[in-house]
Amino acid sequence: MTTTNPPTTEPGPAAGTARRTLRMAARERWARVTAPGMFLDRRRQDVRDALDHGWRAGARWVRLVTRLLIVLGVTGAAVVLYSAAAQVLAASGAGACLSAMAGTVTGPVRHYLAEHTAGLPLSAADAYRLWAATGLTAALLSCVLRSTVARIAWTSWSAGTLAAVWQASPDGGRTVATAVTAAVLAAVSLPALRGLAFFLRPHITIHRTVLVAALVTVAVRPGPVVPAPRRPLDQP
């Protein structure tokens, strides 16, 4: 019994021509995109201008991407440092003190959110996650970007946290819990609000303008002396 193999189909000249046409079309499109004055060339020029003249003088998208990369880098570094610090504190036995301080701040906040989210679609756990994410984001943006909006958000978040701790803490430890919360927020506010100054007096800036007069000398070359014509009365 003989078996016959199915015939193999080899790509004909039409398939090769189609592939060459696609490659040529792709090369032409890439040449148009990377041509001088086109999209990629303009983006490359934006990056070069930012590197030459500083990223503050660069294009808006360059500043936005730079800030986003900075925020992501700082967030990653903060997570790594936090994990390392937690392990060191747990090994040294100082983690219990920090856990007690954290519970003094977060415990009343959890209790306050549990009481005031009853009957809402948002659960107390989700409200606590939103509260923590808002505070962390505002603190990071205030430390890295020193943005006025981020600092206003951080200050508002801190005031709301103090009010929640004051209202939800037990009567006997309300003052101490609020003081501990204020101390923690003040410690975080040192890098978050650095460079912020309040002027109680009018801040007047005097700009002095020095005008330098340039002495310009114009040289006039004397021409030939032409005698004036005589009038009839001048003749002897």
Binned at pLDDT 50, 70 and 90, residue 167 comes out as very high
Same domain, 127 and 173: yes
CA distance linking residue 182 with residue 147, whole number of Å: 22
Instruction: Answer yes or no: is 202 within a domain.
Output: no
Percent of the chain with pLDDT over 70: 71
Mean per-residue pLDDT over the chain, rounded = 76
Q: Is 139 exposed, middle or buried (0-12, 13-18, 19+ CB in 10 A)?
A: buried
Greatest mean pLDDT range, 14-28, 169-183, 220-234? 169-183
Is the confidence at residue 229, as pLDDT, over 70?
no
Burial bucket for residue 78 (CB in 10 Å: 0-12, 13-18, 19+): middle
Domain identity same for 44 and 99: no
CB neighbours of residue 110 within 10 Å = 17
Q: Do both 49 and 105 map to the same domain?
A: no
Closest CA to 111 of 173, 48, 53: 173
Q: pLDDT for 8-57, tens place per residue?
A: 555 555 656 767 777 777 777 777 766 777 777 777 788 887 777 776 77
Q: Report yes or no on 33 lying in a domain.
A: yes
Parent domain of 22? 18-58
Which of 7, 34, 58 terminates a domain? The answer is 58
pLDDT band for 3, please (50, 70, 90 cuts): low
224 vs 144, 198, 218, 220, 221, CA distance in Å?
78, 75, 19, 13, 10
Do residues 117 and 182 both lie within one domain? Answer: yes
Interior angle at CA 11, CA 9 and CA 13, nearest 5: 135
Angle, alpha carbons 203-204-207 (nearest 5°): 145
Handedness of CA 184, 187, 193, 198 (dihedral sign): positive
Residues 27, 117, single domain; the answer is no
Judge whether 226 lies within some domain: no
The verdict on 105 and 167 lying in the same domain is yes
Residues 42 and 104 in one domain: no
Greatest mean pLDDT range, 60-69, 157-166, 185-194: 157-166
Domain-embedded: residue 150: yes
Looking at the domain assignment, is residue 68 inside a domain?
A: no
Percent of the chain with pLDDT over 90: 16
| Pick from 20-24, 148-152, 195-199: least confident | 195-199
Go through 211-224 and write b for each residue having 16 or more CB atoms within 10 A of its CB, e for each that does not: eeeeeeeeeeeeee
pLDDT of residue 223 exceeding 70: no
pTM of the prediction? Answer: 0.52
- Whether residue 224 is contained in a domain is answered as no
Residues 42 and 36 sit within 8 Å (Cβ to Cβ): no
What is the amino acid identity at position 181?
T
Q: Which residue type sits at 148?
A: T
Task: Give yes or no: residues 119 and 178 share one domain.
Answer: yes
State whether 124 and 184 are in the same domain.
yes
Q: Average pLDDT in the 134-152 region?
A: 86
Mean pLDDT, rounded, for 191-218: 60
The number of domains in the chain is 2
Residue 44 within any structural domain of the chain: yes
The answer to whether position 10 is within a domain reads no
Regarding whether 189 and 101 lie in a shared domain, the answer is: yes
